[in-house]
Chain A
């Protein structure tokens, strides 16, 4: 069929995957990992930096996405200032948790993928289309996930047709599940979800949703050793982005800092 003459279609990811030599990350053969302990399997994997807690919450204008700033390598802090929330195009963003190297690569490749499609086709992918493409890319990482390099993204987009924000979560096999209210993933994900479960309600304003997101991250940092809290000494606060009809916007760092400080002040009064 002539339409299939062009083997790559409009996907940059498929174009890369179809080229030789393969530029995409490849998993080493199973059993070939360095095993300092002498034991085979994941126990012998090299420690690599991991991104920890990220979350997304729907509110009246769209979706808010936030992530802590720490990268953790075993029991060590590998980075204090890393960003885990990325704008991927005018109306979507991805937050990543898991092995930092492949996760950052996935986010970068996904950004290029969306832009590439838009340039070739002359129009943007639909929100659903973006979520499905990301699922295929996560599935492509499955061989690496089996060897311990798990990457779990969280996708949030503003659906211009439905005129609402949407959240998608993934599993390592590329399973794609839509969440209607909020979700959080990463090592502190459960703690963040517990907090959001208590505080979430429909039709939140931007100020309210920011407060809930920061409170969820704060609780995750308190309960999970991998997640970093606000660093008051260095002035490092969580990354926060909002995805609305007008596009993706970084929330003012001063506003995030102010809300964090108010939150910490209230906690201090309680103890």
Chain B
């Protein structure tokens, strides 16, 4: 009788983590930043129709980096989770924290049980109502969850972006225009190329709006804001 090969749990986890990191490192990056108008999300995305940033609920947005089919599946599951919760209870009971927790649980259990981990990183962002602070959650391929303040980045160049932004981002009182310029500068610097407005996907959770606060910023508006 042939014995199955023994692989130590440490080795197995390390291999899975390395595999997932490699997959994510190939993907383009996304930046989230608090500003006076709410929370800005900027993605390096050459496609105008395959989105990396999406509306999740009234005050919550989602963004995924890594393998498209995997984060798209997670995005749909998240929207179902949010809509079901809002329907069962009330719209105000849908929170980014609960969504981030659900993502963390699912991604974490896939990481430890399935042979292939998910090659994704997610951002779940909620804009605060009134004087309440914003919330930014970053969820990694292994289900670990980080509560970010001010700025966050995911994708291949996440660490470099975060270092760049942490040194320059001042306070959540910066205007939308300043936040967009800083995000573009960070993406341009880290990727060593000039990303035009066509190569970007930009959206904002607008604090001043009531009801659904998510708004996409199109290429002409990006040009006007950056000019």
Query: Which residue numbers of A lie inside 8 Å of B, CB to CB?
Result: 6, 8, 12, 15-16, 23, 108-109, 112, 115-116, 119-120, 122
In the assembly, what is the distance between CA of A115 and CA of B54, in Å?
13
Are B55 and A16 within 8 A (Cβ)? no
Our pick among B54, B86, B212 for the contact of A112 (Cβ within 8 Å) is B86
Are A122 and B51 within 8 A (Cβ)? yes
Are B87 and A112 within 8 A (Cβ)? yes
* A15: B residues at CB distance < 8 A: 80, 84
Query: Which residue numbers of B lie inside 8 Å of A, CB to CB?
Result: 49, 51, 54-56, 76, 79-80, 83-84, 86-88, 212
Are B79 and A120 within 8 A (Cβ)? yes
Q: For A122, give the chain B residue with the smallest CB separation.
A: B51
Q: For A15, give the chain B residue with the smallest CB separation.
A: B80
* B56: A residues at CB distance < 8 A: 119
Q: For B56, give the chain A residue with the smallest CB separation.
A: A119
Are B87 and A120 within 8 A (Cβ)? no
CB distance from A64 to the nearest CB of B (A): 23
Q: For B88, give the chain A residue with the smallest CB separation.
A: A23
Are A119 and B79 within 8 A (Cβ)? yes
* B87: A residues at CB distance < 8 A: 12, 16, 108-109, 112
In the assembly, what is the distance between CA of A122 and CA of B56, in Å?
11
Our pick among A16, A108, A116 for the contact of B79 (Cβ within 8 Å) is A116
Are A120 and B76 within 8 A (Cβ)? yes
Q: For B76, give the chain A residue with the smallest CB separation.
A: A120
Are A119 and B55 within 8 A (Cβ)? yes
In the assembly, what is the distance between CA of A188 and CA of B88, in Å?
33
* A120: B residues at CB distance < 8 A: 76, 79
- With known contacts A23-B88, A122-B51, A115–B80 Cβ distance under 8 A: no
* A116: B residues at CB distance < 8 A: 79-80, 83
Which of B54, B56, B83, B212: most chain A Cβ within 10 A? B83
* A108: B residues at CB distance < 8 A: 87
Which of B51, B80, B86, B88: most chain A Cβ within 10 A? B80
In the assembly, what is the distance between CA of A122 and CA of B83, in Å?
15
Are A12 and B51 within 8 A (Cβ)? no
Task: Please give me the 6 A-B residue pairs with the lowest Cβ-Cβ distance, nearest first.
Answer: A119-B79, A116-B83, A119-B55, A112-B87, A12-B83, A112-B83
